[in-house]
Structure 1
Amino acid sequence: MMTHIDLPDTIPVFPLPGALMLPRARLPLHIFEPKYLAMLDDTMKTSHRLIGMVQPMETPGGSGARRLHRVGCAGRLTGFSETEDGRYMITLSGVSRYRIEAEQTGFTPYMRADVCWDGFERDLGPVEEDPDFDRGRFLDLLNRYFSANALSTDWDSLKEAEDELLINSLSMLCPFETEEKQALLEAPCLSTRRKTLSTLIDFSLRGGKAEEILQ
């Protein structure tokens, strides 16, 4: 079994608002900016093929230099196809969360960072379960949320999906704000993520603000 000792100390980092990566989940991405095409080319030459997804912090008024959250999640490049005009459609498979210790600049057109994997050991372990998960009650809440936001899904698949796949997929796909996505990412275990997800959905239905529950 892979351990964090096997993971690199420095990885390329891809800041992308709303693109949440979670361990053991898959994230499809469309790569077209020149600097990220360069990142992808360099990544394919490495043995680990890891790219670190991370959420930019929201800045008041959108001014000032972009800052990044310190916790992100690395995914391994497991699939890609190239379009005729030189763009890539890729798939990242989530490996582990990490904490940014230092940003490296000047060596590549994209950002690279020294990262620490400590504290996220469960990400490399077996699929998580949520023994207190009331699936019926949760799906009822989700149905109301999807109806209110004109969203559709395959309900039969949701009913049959494993706890982790269901909760993590919804955390990644639901149209939450950046700070809400970050709260889901940093949840220490699947049960906490499910509770956070349920709270976000409930507050959305009630017209509440995310910052009211993420303090």
Structure 2
Amino acid sequence: MQGDRPADTYLAAWMATARQRLIVGITGASGAAYGLAALNALRSENVETHLLISRSGQITAAHELGLKFSELTALADVVYKIDDIAAAISSGSFKTLGMLVAPCSIRSLSEIASGVTSSLLSRAADVVLKERRRLVLMVRETPLHLGHLRAMAQVTEMGAIVMPPVPAFYTRPTCIDDIVNHSVGRALDLFGLNSQLVSRWGEEAGIER
């Protein structure tokens, strides 16, 4: 009977069966395909996704992907309004693996670096940092001026990982999806998630050292 088992036994059983959670943020920087690929990969891996899309991110995604907002959000388990400060992910007591921002605009990067949280996206990122969880920012901007570089250095010092989606040509990509998927797969590696999107050096047939 339930009363005959200690509480920690139930806690251990719940932790063993609970789905892992990851927050995914999509901002207005070019590269909405990275966010789309992340949502698809996490769905395949049965990771519970908590999605945030900034207002400019909605515009960029519609332009670059040709998807309706409802089609994009349908890929996530939970979707939040960008100004919903009462959302679960605004609290450190809500357990997650961390947060992936793909793509990450310079504005969002700078806001996170400053600790000024004017939206749920930057608040969620701030929570991830204060709880010492993994925050990965796929920053999409070039060229970079000194202010950009200083913001990147500051969030790195705070514990975030700045990961611009740089293509890996050793995989011999043949289409845009190959390039996007490899970058997203490498980003998910940082959360300990093996998405099967990555052609790994030395592990694939035909790749010689």
Question: Which structure dedicates a bigger proportion of its chain to helix?
Answer: 2
- Same structural fold, with TM-score higher than 0.5 when normalized by the shorter chain: no
TM-score, normalised relative to structure 1: 0.22
Higher RCO (CA < 8 A, seq sep 6+): 1
Question: Which structure dedicates a bigger proportion of its chain to strand?
Answer: 1
